[in-house]
């Protein structure tokens, strides 16, 4: 497990030193959310009703911007070749890199979401639930995103291709993330939707790296 944490630590250090990816994702998130009230008009009730949806969609799009960095830099400078000769299976290499992506992008986005909720007049009672769903849902964003990142690692300017591969995979996360927030206001409570969201994340943490590693093996050929 030594090499697993060595890889996570190195990726965190690189993310802090290079910085750009986190800034781009957070900046994009901020801009998309703040454009919404301008486009939809000052109807506060309307904004409050759709706030959770806008926040979740903007969060997914912002995360999408940073996904290509999971494997691309390592592929370009030859690091991926060497990582593949380690004692650590490629599946765990993908896990470590997805985990580092979640820590450096998923968590900052989840922390920014409630702040941006203010811009959309999000119902005060929904804040704790919004924070809960973004924290529980973002691992799925990173670990499913790694599949797309691995598939497109060789594609020059594969950003659009990455979006086409990954966004459909995000649909369940989006649906249950939003319905957990809206259900919390209703009589049934958020229980079921929140638990399904957690289940999607757990499944993504297990299955995402396996698929990503299979894709990387083909890319290394």
Partner 1 sequence: MQLIAEDLIVERGGRLVIDGLSFAVSAGEAMVLAGANGAGKTTLLRTLAGYIRPSAGSVRCEGGDVELTVAEQAHVIGHANAVKSSLTVFENAAFWSEFLGSANETGGHIESALRNFGLDDLAEFPAAYLSAGQRRRLGLARLLLAKRPLWLLDEPTVSLDVASTERLVSAVNEHTRAGGLAIVATHLPLALERARTLELVSLRMAA
Residues that bind partner 1 (CB under 8 A): 2-3, 6-7, 10, 13-14, 17-18, 76-79, 81-88, 220-221
Tokens representing residue 107 in the block: 């968590």
Q: What is the DSSP string of 87-143?
A: SS-HHHHHHHHHHHHIIIIIHHHHHHHHHHHGGGT--GGGHHHHHHHHHHHHHHHHH
Q: Which of residues 36 and 215 has its CB atom nearest to partner 1 in the complex?
A: 215
Tell me how far, at minimum, the Cβ of 169 lies from partner 1, in Å: 27
Tell me how far, at minimum, the Cβ of 116 lies from partner 1, in Å: 29
Q: Look at the alpha carbons of 55, 58, 61, 65 in this order and tell me if their dihedral is positive or negative.
A: negative
Q: Which of residues 20 and 168 has its CB atom nearest to partner 1 in the complex?
A: 20
Q: Which of residues 103 and 202 has its CB atom nearest to partner 1 in the complex?
A: 103
**What is the rounded CA–CA span in Å between residue 95 and residue 4?**
9
Q: What is the DSSP string of 26-59?
A: HHHHHHHHHHHHHHH-S-HHHHHHHHHHHHHHHH
Tell me how far, at minimum, the Cβ of 74 lies from partner 1, in Å: 8
Q: Which of residues 75 and 143 has its CB atom nearest to partner 1 in the complex?
A: 75
Q: Which of residues 16 and 206 has its CB atom nearest to partner 1 in the complex?
A: 16
Q: Which of residues 13 and 192 has its CB atom nearest to partner 1 in the complex?
A: 13
Q: Are 75 and 219 in contact (CB under 8 A)?
A: yes
Tell me how far, at minimum, the Cβ of 88 lies from partner 1, in Å: 7
Tell me how far, at minimum, the Cβ of 10 lies from partner 1, in Å: 5
Tell me how far, at minimum, the Cβ of 63 lies from partner 1, in Å: 22
Q: Are 142 and 98 in contact (CB under 8 A)?
A: yes
Tokens representing residue 21 in the block: 């990816």
**What is the rounded CA–CA span in Å between residue 52 and residue 165?**
24
């Amino acid at each position: 497990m030594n090499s697993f944490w060595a890889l996570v630590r190195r990726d965190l250090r690189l993310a802090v030193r290079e910085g750009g990816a986190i800034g781009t994702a957070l900046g994009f998130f901020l801009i998309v959310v703040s454009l919404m009230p301008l486009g939809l008009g000052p109807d506060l009730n309307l904004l409050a009703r759709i706030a959770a949806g806008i926040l979740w969609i903007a969060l997914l799009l912002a995360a999408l911007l940073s996904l290509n960095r999971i494997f691309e830099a390592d592929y370009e400078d030859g690091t991926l070749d060497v990582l593949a000769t380690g004692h650590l299976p490629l599946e765990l290499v993908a896990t470590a890199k997805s985990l580092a992506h979640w820590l450096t992008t998923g968590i900052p986005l989840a922390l920014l979401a409630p702040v941006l909720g203010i811009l959309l007049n999000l119902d005060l009672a929904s804040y704790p639930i919004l924070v809960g769903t973004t924290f529980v849902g973002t691992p799925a964003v990173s670990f499913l995103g790694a599949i797309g990142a691995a598939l497109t690692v060789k594609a020059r300017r594969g950003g659009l291709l990455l979006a086409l591969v990954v966004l459909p995979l995000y649909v369940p996360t989006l649906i249950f993330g939003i319905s957990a927030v809206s259900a919390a206001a209703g009589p049934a409570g958020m229980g079921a939707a929140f638990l399904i969201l957690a289940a999607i994340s757990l499944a993504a943490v297990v299955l995402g790296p396996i698929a990503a590693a299979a894709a990387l093996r083909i890319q290394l050929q």
